[in-house]
Amino acid sequence: MRLHLVYIGAAAELAPAASLRALAGGGTVFVPGGLSPELGALLAASCGGDAPIRLDPDDLSAVWARTAAGEAIVCLAGSEGPALARVLRREAAARAVAVATTPADALFDDALLGQELVSLKRIVDVLRVECPWDREQTAGDIVSYTIEEVYELADAIATDDLRAEHGELGDLLLQVVLLALMLDERGAGDLGSIAHDIEIKLIRRHAHIFGDAVAETPGEVRGQWERIKRDQEGREGVFHDVPDTFPALLYARKVQQRAGSVGFDWDTVREAFPKIAEEQAELAEALGLSGSGAAADGLVATGAGKARIRHESGDLLFAVVNVARKAGVDPELALRAAAQRFVERVETAVGLAARDEIDWSQLALEAQDEYYRRAKSAEGGRADHSQQEGTP
């Protein structure tokens, strides 16, 4: 029982000679439906036995019947080839059918990937010329969509929604291909040169893999990256290339990483953690909550007082970001997840109150908090720390 997948490609002019030779041994050969006349004729001439049998992608029973009798040879030809390969491999695994490929191993996967990426680029090329909307876009127009797609991908990953993650990666890939085309239109490179340059950068920055450098821990790797950026890539200063347009949490984490790359950093979370309490005390003093200042309840700070509260609030947030970073947690994603949990819990609390025929928004804070705690306790599979938390 064996399935032999032979990669031919999207066009007769590009068919690998080794793949065509693999068809000359005789026997039944299956091909996708919808082949171009040129590709169909090439395959018919290459097969050493009967004429190729065209497959219905919704009915592959003939392939599995042939594997039961020995070996089924399937040509992955035309635009449908890569998709057909995915289906056949998945079903072969379920049926415990061995799979052989021509070309063998990684070269086969590379051929399928290359065909899919080229197909995507060609579609984008057509849209850029023929679609009125796509024709009018600039990189400045598109980048806002790119940022949206990154956030949507982050949400899919945070919720471990693999189907959504798959779709969002496709949306992001489209952005890269389209922006690369716009770069090409301005004579500044293309998708191929972009891929080449990032390959070179990866090799240069991983000298411990592709060269003679030694880096055995993640910290040593990061330190090596920073040295290479300064020494080989001409980046100057401690805080080189940190965009001012970064969201505040990401900006804070990045500048902390840059400072850490030159040794200005706590060694451990244990050392960094007390800074949170220190900054909290300073904020409490600015708010008049420490006993050394005017009570802040019911008052709106103005002038120097408001400036100090803003200053101390920033310092506290910066300290929390630093601890999260040292603990290996992305503070941006952690805060987004916390905000999403809060939304879910409040909505659940509102629903619980409605079930009791009570308008949650009209309750006193203490009663609202009781429903909030009930909502939190109802969360499946999560530890209940409600006794340690105050009202958010």
Q: What is the pLDDT of residues 151-210, one digit of tens each?
A: 899 889 888 999 999 999 999 999 999 999 999 999 999 999 999 999 999 998 898 999
- Torsion sign (Cα): 342, 345, 347, 353: negative
Count how many residues are written for the chain: 392
Res 155: pLDDT:
86
Residues carrying CATH 3.40.1010.10, the chain: 2-113
Res 319: pLDDT:
95
Of 198-202, 262-266, 276-280, the poorest mean pLDDT is in 262-266
Of 36-45, 233-242, 273-282, the poorest mean pLDDT is in 233-242
How buried is 150 (Cβ within 10 angstroms: 0-12 exposed, 13-18 middle, 19+ buried)? Answer: middle
- Please state the rounded mean pLDDT for residues 286-315: 75
- Torsion sign (Cα): 231, 236, 241, 242: positive
Res 224: pLDDT:
81
Res 302: pLDDT:
64
* DSSP, residue by residue, 178-239: HHHHHHHHTTS--HHHHHHHHHHHHHHHTHHHHSS----SHHHHHHHHHHHHHHTS---STT
Return d(Cα 16, Cα 42) in angstroms, integer. Answer: 12
Architecture of domain 248-329: Orthogonal Bundle (1.10)
pLDDT at 342 over 80: yes
Q: For the domain made up of 137-202, give the CATH fold.
A: Helix Hairpins (1.10.287)
Res 350: pLDDT:
95
pLDDT at 382 over 80: no
H helices, E strands: number in the chain: 17, 5
Residues carrying CATH 1.10.287.1080, the chain: 137-202, 248-329
pLDDT tens profile 109-139: 999 999 999 999 999 999 999 999 999 999 9
> Apex CA 126: angle with CA 120 and CA 130, to 5°?
150
Superfamily of domain 2-113: Tetrapyrrole methylase, N-terminal domain (3.40.1010.10)
pLDDT tens profile 46-66: 887 677 888 888 899 999 999
pLDDT at 310 over 60: yes
Going by C-alpha positions, the residue among 279, 277, 280, 287 that lies closest to residue 308 is 287
Tokens coding 346: 């409040």
pLDDT at 384 over 90: no
pLDDT tens profile 11-31: 999 899 989 988 887 678 999
Whether residue 338 contacts residue 344, with contact meaning beta carbons closer than 8 Å, is answered with: no
Confidence band, pLDDT 50/70/90 cuts, at residue 108: very high
Res 151: pLDDT:
87
* pTM exceeds 0.85, yes or no: no
Beta strand pairing call for 98-102 and 2-9: parallel
Confidence band, pLDDT 50/70/90 cuts, at residue 295: low
Confidence band, pLDDT 50/70/90 cuts, at residue 388: very low
Task: Name, in order, each residue with C-beta under 8 angstroms of 26's C-beta and a sequence gap of 6 or more.
Answer: 47, 48, 49
Q: Give the strands of the sheet with 2-9, arranged side by side.
A: 53-55, 29-32, 71-77, 2-9, 98-102
Counting residues of the chain whose pLDDT is more than 70, the rounded percentage is 92
